[in-house]
Amino acid sequence: MPHCLLLCALLVVAACARPQHVERLPDAPVAMPEMPENAGPVYARGALLYRVGSCVGCHSPPFDDATHLGGGRDLPTVFGVFYAPNISPDPEHGIGAWTEDDFVRAMRRGRAPDGHRYWPTFPYMTYTNLREDDLHALWVYLRAQPPVDTPSRPHEVHAPYGLPGMLGLWRRLAFRRGPFEPDPDAPADVERGRYLVQAVSYCDQCHSPRNSAGLLRRRDYLAGGANPGKSDVHPNLTPDPDVGLGGWTADDIAHYLATAEKPDGTRTDPDDIMAEKIRDSFSHYSEADRLAIGAYLLSLPPDDFDPEEWGMVKRARRREAR
């Protein structure tokens, strides 16, 4: 049983998988077209969410041969290679035959119209927290895009991860269905930032450590993480003065999310997954939204967890050094 839990643990972090095909991460723009000038407010909101919610990076990726909503992003993980599917309104190859209820069920419950469960490489553990009006805006936006008639690629799941029981077990342990519960006592900007971090941009899924069952370690929430078996670290985002963002202001965080420049003058490597997310997603947030994310992160209790010193990361470094 513990062994099985470990496998589930490995599975869950697939959503944070760092693409290994670095040669396919050029400075190419994403396949997402500019917004038409006459776009209504709901369409515009949907287009923004498609950007900042990172749908763009997987379903309209920055590859030369990519199509908007055509998917195709390869997500190599230790469990296999997953491919983002075609989610255009094409009735055969996309989701053109879906109703809005089907879409809400996929996002909120991680289930397809035929009832099968999705792999968590599709970050529905975050999108489950989206508000109704935001899900509706995404739906309106997706429906208004041109159909793409290329078939989705099947996932290549390594044995034994494809066993159906595993996904069900993981979901029972790790998946808490939304929507997001507002905290009436929190200041408005902090509350806004929490929504963007926990419901839209899945910052917490990469930047939190997990226990051996693959569940986010609540105690060290947003205090840094890493992908299973990998040595590259997702830094601590709590305001700890030594290992976290204690020396950063909300302005510094907002500036970083727009430019990848840190207050110490260094910047994130352009090939890094975080730099890609800043370029294609987070830099499209309004300044007010980026500041709200900063206000939320700085409102967290400081936590001195250091992902650089984490046993899992050190073991991965020793393995890589061999």
Separation between Cα atoms, residue 142 and residue 89, nearest integer Å: 7
Alpha helices in the chain (DSSP H): 2-12, 41-52, 55-59, 100-109, 124-127, 132-143, 164-174, 188-195, 203-207, 250-259, 273-280, 287-299, 311-321
Q: Is 16 in the site for ligand HEC (CB under 6 A)?
A: yes
Q: Which is nearer to ligand HEC, 9 or 103 (CB)?
A: 103
CA distances 220 to 191, 209, 210, 304, Å, are 19, 7, 9, 9
Q: Which of 79, 161, 221, 282 binds ligand HEC (CB under 6 A)?
A: 282
Backbone angles phi, psi at 62, to 5 degrees: -80, 55
Distance (Å, rounded) from C-alpha 207 to C-alpha 222? 5
Of residues 39 and 155, the one with the C-beta less far from ligand HEC: 155
Question: How many helices (H) and strands (E) are present in the chain, helices listed first?
Answer: 13, 5
In the set 43, 63, 118, 175, which binds ligand HEC (CB under 6 A)? 118
Interacting span for ligand HEC (CB under 6 A) from 37-45, 48-56, 156-164, 298-306: 48-56
Q: Which of 30, 106, 169, 216 binds ligand HEC (CB under 6 A)?
A: 106
Q: What would the two tokens of residue 91 be? A: 């009735």
Our finding on whether 293 is near ligand HEC (CB under 6 A) is yes
Contact between 262 and ligand HEC by CB under 6 A: the answer reads: yes
Structure tokens at 67: 């199509």
From 32, 46, 82, 190, residue interacting with ligand HEC (rule: CB under 6 A): 82
Identify which of residues 186 and 263 has a Cβ nearer to ligand HEC in the complex.
263
Q: Which stretch binds ligand HEC (CB under 6 A): 22-30, 56-64, 213-221, 309-317?
A: 56-64
Window 120 to 149, contacts with ligand HEC (CB under 6 A): 121-123, 127, 138
Q: How far is the CB of 2 from ligand HEC (least distance, A)?
A: 25
Min dist CB 308 to ligand HEC, Å, is 11
Read off the tokens for 243.
Answer: 């290992």
Q: Is 305 a binder of ligand HEC (CB under 6 A)? A: no
Distance CA 155, CA 120 (A): 13
C-beta atoms surrounding 1 within 10 Å: 6
Nearest-5° angle of CA 241, CA 16, CA 8?
A: 110
Cβ of residue 114: shortest distance to ligand HEC, in angstroms? 9
Binding mask 208-247 for ligand HEC (x = CB under 6 A): --------------------------xx-x----------
**In this structure, what is the dihedral angle of CA atoms 307, 312, 315, 321, given to the nearest 10 degrees?**
-50
Residue with tokens 């830094």: 235
Residues near ligand HEC (CB under 6 A) are 15-16, 53-55, 57-59, 75, 82, 84-85, 87, 95, 103, 106, 112, 118-119, 121-123, 127, 138, 197, 201-203, 206-207, 234-235, 237, 253, 256-257, 262, 268, 272-274, 277, 282, 293
